[in-house]
Amino acid sequence: MASLALLIPTEKLDRLHIAANLTAAAASMGWSVHLFFTFWGLLALVKGREPSGITGDYMAYESSLKKAVESGVMPRWADLIRQAKQLGDVKIYACSATMNLLSIDRDQLEDFVDDVVGAATFLSIAEKSDVSLVV
């Protein structure tokens, strides 16, 4: 079985959708998937928090993306992650160092987070993965 490791260092809506789409696709193909949310990406895992816009190069498309999500044409990124977890072996990790830095407690995180780990733990997972990406 193939495996995918994704490092997610941002909470931008377009990047979160890329990560969620890749996760759902990989899970549907029977791949194991490991996502590591660190730095500003960790903020996306805080319950009730919405992504902070989109990356600079694509600002012209921000309203289109938001409308697609709000109207249901495109699922919310977190819903895609939940669906992917139902499809297969998907693990979501929150960065322990970033949690300490930002004073975020485990109980503030979304229910789909599997574990809180450090960078070294995630790197050991990524090292064994067939595909490793930064989104």
Average pLDDT rounded to a whole number, residues 24-44: 97
User: pLDDT grade, residue 11 (50/70/90)?
Assistant: very high
Contact yes or no for 30/1 (Cβ under 8 A):
yes
Q: What is the mean pLDDT of the chain?
A: 95
134: its two tokens: 């930064």
How far apart are the C-alpha atoms of 108 and 103, rounded to whole Å? Answer: 10
How far apart are the C-alpha atoms of 23 and 1, rounded to whole Å? Answer: 15
Contact yes or no for 5/121 (Cβ under 8 A):
no
In 3D space, the residue among 53, 51, 22, 48 whose CA is nearest the CA of residue 35 turns out to be 22
In this model, does residue 44 exceed pLDDT 90? yes
User: pLDDT grade, residue 89 (50/70/90)?
Assistant: very high
Enumerate domains of the chain plus CATH numbers. 3-134 (3.40.1260.10)
Q: How far is CA 16 from the centre of its chain?
A: 6
pLDDT at 85: 97
Task: Report yes or no on whether pTM surpasses 0.85.
Answer: yes
84: its two tokens: 């992917």
Contact yes or no for 59/118 (Cβ under 8 A):
no
